[in-house]
Structure 1
Amino acid sequence: MEHIIRAVRADEWEKAREIRLAALQDPAAPIAFMETYEQGLAHTPDFWRERTRNAAAGVAGNQFIAEESGGRWVGTVTALVERPAAAVGFGEAARVDQTHLVGVFVRPEARGIGVTKELFRAAVDWSWSLPGSRIERVRLYVHEDNARAAAFYRRFGFAPSGESVPGPPRPSERPSDPPARELEYELWREVSR
């Protein structure tokens, strides 16, 4: 499968919407995303335009996509910039300048061929290259039951930080079950010698 990895463009809101809705229909979606398909479907075109425009600006974040030669998107990841003393969308407040990877999704037919690794490489390289305050770490959260994703993150170089936050309930969760957790994984900038 031939594809390129690139940043999303501001006018691509319809493709951004389509891949997000595909992600929310994936069998792993209940433990991979904090939004349901129904919630995603309910967003207006203006919501998607603004979301894509912001992701394309490359200031507070950047969305990367894997695009086949015919123009179909087969994967995506978004890196959000988080600074100390600024509000964050999820998890603990930033202690250092960092980025937070969210919205990771690769279509089933593009899995296992390196697309996710290429998307992560683009997002991490972008993080390390940001001007101004130097980004010290990249973080993400993974549901404790999402072993496949956690294994990939470890292979890429991420390690558990020891932090966790409450996660979405498991599909089969009963009120007496312990609450599910989202585990924070982190990748620190390598120190130059």
Structure 2
Amino acid sequence: MDYLIRAIRAEEWEKTREIRLAALRDPAAGIAFLDTYEKAVERPDSFWRERAEGAAEGGTGGARQFVAEAPDGSWAGTISVLVERPSDEVRFGEAATVDQTHIVAVYVRPEARGTGLAEELFRAGVEWSWALPEPVVRRVRLYVHEDNARAAAFYRRFGFVATGERVAVPGDAGAWEVEYEIRRPVGL
């Protein structure tokens, strides 16, 4: 099936909510996300509207959410990219030392896994990062739970490398998230 990879639109907050809730019901959610279905489902519509507005095409929220849209309009996957600057408040992990983006909220529905869709979503997120005129992004990073071998293997295949940095998983003493990055190509 052919998918259109595109940024969400602000008015698509309900679809944004639906795919996030689907991701949080996935069996891997416990090691893939720092959120829970129980918390997310209780959030008011205003939360989801603001979230979509901040990550939508043309939005000013310092983020972009991409989706894989099927010909029937359904969403088969998503990825979000957050802009992080050294002067910003730390959201997760270590403070930025360079202008960078941070990939979060990666999800592909089970029926679309293994089709190359994750690669397409990642390509969109990384290319968006490199194309930003301001700030000039020097690296794209993400974190992966130490027990999420499947995701870590995908990130390595895509070109991410472990930095050696780790951060404790909030609320899970003894568990770690491992940082991976891709550095901006020379000459880009």
TM-score (norm 2): 0.96
Q: Distance in 2 between matches of 1:44 and 1:85?
A: 30
Q: 1:132 offset after TM fit, Å? A: 2.1
The corresponding residue for 1:123 is: 125
Helix, strand or coil at the partner of 1:77: strand
% of aligned pairs identical? 61
The 5-angstrom pairing of residues 123-142 of structure 1 reads 123-142=125-144
The 5-angstrom pairing of residues 110-189 of structure 1 reads 110-167=112-169, 179-189=174-184
The 5-angstrom pairing of residues 61-80 of structure 1 reads 61-80=63-82
Corresponding position: 1:19 with 2:16 = no
TM-score (norm 1): 0.93
In 2, are the aligned partners of 1:30 and 1:168 still within 8 Å (CA)?
no
In 2, are the aligned partners of 1:31 and 1:168 still within 8 Å (CA)?
no
In structure 2, what residue type is equivalent to 1:116? A
Q: Distance in 1 between matches of 2:99 and 2:83?
A: 8
Q: 1:142 offset after TM fit, Å? A: 0.2
Helix, strand or coil at the partner of 2:10: coil
TM-superposition CA deviations, 1:114-172 (whole Å, max 9, x none): 100000000000000001231000000000000000000000000001111111567xx
Deviates further, 52-61 or 38-47:
52-61
The 5-angstrom pairing of residues 90-101 of structure 1 reads 90-101=92-103
Helix, strand or coil at the partner of 1:94: coil
Helix, strand or coil at the partner of 2:54: helix
In 2, are the aligned partners of 1:67 and 1:74 still within 8 Å (CA)?
yes
In structure 1, what residue type is equivalent to 2:124? A
In structure 2, what residue type is equivalent to 1:78? S
Aligned length: 186
In 2, are the aligned partners of 1:169 and 1:179 still within 8 Å (CA)?
no
In structure 1, what residue type is equivalent to 2:122? F
Deviates further, 52-61 or 63-72:
52-61
